[in-house]
Amino acid sequence: LGEGKRYQSAGFIGKAMGKYAEALGMNPDLIYEVKSLQYRAGIQMAKLAKEADEFEEIQLAIYSLEYARELSGGIGTRNEKLLVDLKNKLKSLSDYKSRIIIEQKMNIARAEQLNARNKKLKIGLTIPQVQDLLGEPHEKILGNRGLNPDEQLWIYFVNQGSLHLSFHQFQLFKIEEL
């Protein structure tokens, strides 16, 4: 029982509850004192739970209140209401975090879509500009049997077809879809 009190005063409510249960198992005559200590521990957990505002703190507070209810057989109507409120708060926080993540992904998608609308493949683009738009080609053929890098044919395989881009002096001068 003394160990449980020390744990409780140090803030280790779960360990304290375990020690109280052990003490009760050894000596059933301590039931009233153990119930009193468990009730105080429950109040201590409830105070901590009321102050919880971070996701992990709320989860811990919910777990602690449920654990206290399990060990002591009840936590009172006020603490039951607090438990319901904490679960609602956790759900709201979880929904909020989900909305933030969705919004971030939507912003990225909007930026990519805007970029795609602004940058279009057209005659006159340089090789680096085409690479920025389409990435590396699936096949690259250099002119004059691979000896002339001034003339290049880039091939991209898209939608069961292919896109052939011809470059002369590193500028796009012909676009063919086959």
Per-residue pLDDT tens over the stretch 128-139: 988 888 888 999
User: What number of other Cβ atoms are within 10 A of residue 24's Cβ?
Assistant: 20
Q: Does residue 92 share a domain with residue 22? A: yes
Q: Does residue 92 share a domain with residue 12? A: yes
Element of type H or E holding 42: helix 31-51
Q: Taking residues 6-19, report their average pLDDT.
A: 80
Residues contacting residue 121 through CB under 8 Å, at least 6 positions apart: 130, 133, 134, 165, 172, 175
Final residue of a domain: which of 98, 130, 158? 98
Q: What's the predicted TM-score (pTM) here?
A: 0.41
Mean pLDDT for all residues in the chain = 82
Q: With CA atoms as reference, report the closest residue to 163 among 141, 178, 145.
A: 178
Please state, in angstroms and rounded to a whole number, the distance separating the CA atoms of residues 90 and 88: 5
| Residue 15, in any domain of the structure | yes
Q: Does residue 68 share a domain with residue 27? A: yes
Final residue of a domain: which of 33, 67, 98? 98
Q: Taking residues 152-161, report their average pLDDT.
A: 87
Q: Does residue 62 share a domain with residue 12? A: yes
Amino acid letter for position 107: N
Q: Which domain range does residue 33 map to?
A: 2-98
Q: Does residue 88 share a domain with residue 125? A: no
* pLDDT, tens digit (0-9, with 9 covering 90-100), for 1-10: 788 888 888 8
Q: Parallel, antiparallel, or unpaired for β 139-142 and 171-177?
A: unpaired
* pLDDT at site 167: 92
Q: Does residue 89 share a domain with residue 41? A: yes
Q: Does residue 94 share a domain with residue 10? A: yes
| Residue 114, in any domain of the structure | no
Q: In total, how many domains does the chain have?
A: 2
The answer to whether residues 121 and 134 touch, using CB atoms and an 8 Å cutoff, is yes
Q: What are phi and psi of 25, to 5 degrees?
A: -65, -35
Q: Taking residues 147-158, report their average pLDDT.
A: 87
* pLDDT, tens digit (0-9, with 9 covering 90-100), for 71-106: 667 777 877 888 888 888 888 888 888 999 999 999
| Residue 112, in any domain of the structure | no
* pLDDT at site 71: 66
Q: Does residue 140 share a domain with residue 87? A: no
Final residue of a domain: which of 63, 98, 133? 98
What are the distances in angstroms from CA 79 to CA 42, 160, 169, 172?
A: 8, 64, 77, 72
* pLDDT at site 165: 92
Between 33 and 74, the more confident residue is: 33
Q: Taking residues 143-154, report their average pLDDT.
A: 84
Q: Does residue 12 share a domain with residue 77? A: yes
* pLDDT at site 50: 66
| Residue 148, in any domain of the structure | yes
Percentage of the chain modeled with pLDDT above 90: 12
Q: Does residue 88 share a domain with residue 166? A: no
Lowest mean pLDDT among 62-66, 107-111, 158-162, 163-167: 62-66
Q: Does residue 15 share a domain with residue 76? A: yes
